[in-house]
A and B are shown apart, each in its own frame.
Chain A
Amino acid sequence: MNTQYYVFLSLLLFAIGVMGVLTRRNAIVVFMCIELMLSAVNLLLVSFGKVRGIFERVFDAHSRAGADAQVFVLFVMVVAAAEVVVGLSVVVMVFRNTHSVDVDKLDRLKY
């Protein structure tokens, strides 16, 4: 079990999310790609917290190594859930105003 695999997996997930944000024009899909990136970061955080905990203390059956990172990931999830609520209601508002979820049509701020 090498942590490098986790690094590579979360890099892959993050890059797929970046590609999605850059290439799609549907606002909901862009939003889901942001969720994908958040999930990748969470995975990396958990695995690094595990490694750090292993380096930090002697490992027995009741060790709490890595629990700090998991609490942190929990906070990230909470913030992401709140962000999803607000973002989706913004998308609903945009859809009501423009009758589309195309992010390219939201260029009125340019002029």
Chain B
Amino acid sequence: MMVVLSKSPVGSVLALVVTLVSVSAHYIFLNAQFLAIVNIIVYAGAVMVLFLFVVMLMNLRRHPGRYHLLLTRLTGFLLGLVFLVALWMVGGRHVQGFHVDAATLHTGNSGLVGTIGQLLFSKYAFPFELTGVLFLSAILAGILLARKPASPKEKNRGPGPANPTDE
């Protein structure tokens, strides 16, 4: 909730880091250790550093993040609440039967690196290669978009930001 409510974007980023770390704790509870580690490293580490970098690059102290007008704001919150209630009525009705005791949930080695790696290179080898291509195109797009434009007006603004492609 702090992600939405925080006044400054930096506070929002930090709240999102806390949220992602707690989601990683839930992954560990669900016996998905590899995903938990990946979540912490990729999201709470790299992506959030990227967000912080962009936030601080833009120096948003001068124009702090404002809300919309009151009407838009209220409508947004109401729509969010309606969405929550609707989803809850749909979801809560259909998943009530799944009662799993904790001991069953924590056994098995489905979340270990070996299991996921074997699946990744045997059953899901083609999607894996596809994500590699996707990453390459994302890197190229990032470089292309974040490159310093060659117009003389932009020349005196110092070196352009380092391209955010260090994923």
- Which A residues fall within an 8 A CB radius of B? 1-4, 6-9, 11-16, 18-20, 22-26, 28-29, 31-33, 35-36, 39, 42-43, 46-47, 50-51, 53-54, 59-68, 70-71, 73-75, 77-79, 81-86, 88-93, 95-96, 100-102, 104
User: Contact between B115 and A2 (Cβ–Cβ < 8 Å)?
Assistant: no
User: Contact between B35 and A95 (Cβ–Cβ < 8 Å)?
Assistant: no
Q: How far is the CA of A77 from the CA of B99 in the complex (A)?
A: 28
User: Contact between B98 and A2 (Cβ–Cβ < 8 Å)?
Assistant: yes
- Chain B window 61-101, contacts with chain A (Cβ cutoff 8 Å), 1 for yes, 0 for no: 00101111000110111011101100110011001101111
Contact A50 to B105, CB < 8 A, known contacts A79-B134, A85-B138: yes
User: Contact between A67 and B91 (Cβ–Cβ < 8 Å)?
Assistant: no
Partner of B131, one of A15, A75, A88, A90: A75
Q: How far is the CA of A39 from the CA of B4 in the complex (A)?
A: 15
CB of A107 to closest CB in B, whole Å: 13
Q: How far is the CA of A31 from the CA of B58 in the complex (A)?
A: 15
Chain B residues in 8 Å Cβ range of A47? 30
- Chain B window 123-148, contacts with chain A (Cβ cutoff 8 Å), 1 for yes, 0 for no: 11001000100110111011001100
- Which B residues fall within an 8 A CB radius of A? 1, 3-4, 9, 12-13, 16, 19-20, 23, 26-27, 30-32, 34-35, 38-39, 42-43, 46-47, 50-51, 54-55, 57-58, 60, 63, 65-68, 72-73, 75-77, 79-81, 83-84, 87-88, 91-92, 95-96, 98-102, 104-105, 107-111, 115-116, 119-120, 123-124, 127, 131, 134-135, 137-139, 141-142, 145-146, 149, 154, 161, 163-165, 167
8 closest Cβ pairs, A-B complex: A22-B76, A19-B80, A82-B138, A26-B65, A15-B84, A89-B145, A23-B76, A20-B4
Q: How far is the CA of A40 from the CA of B28 in the complex (A)?
A: 15
Partner of A32, one of B13, B58, B100, B139: B13
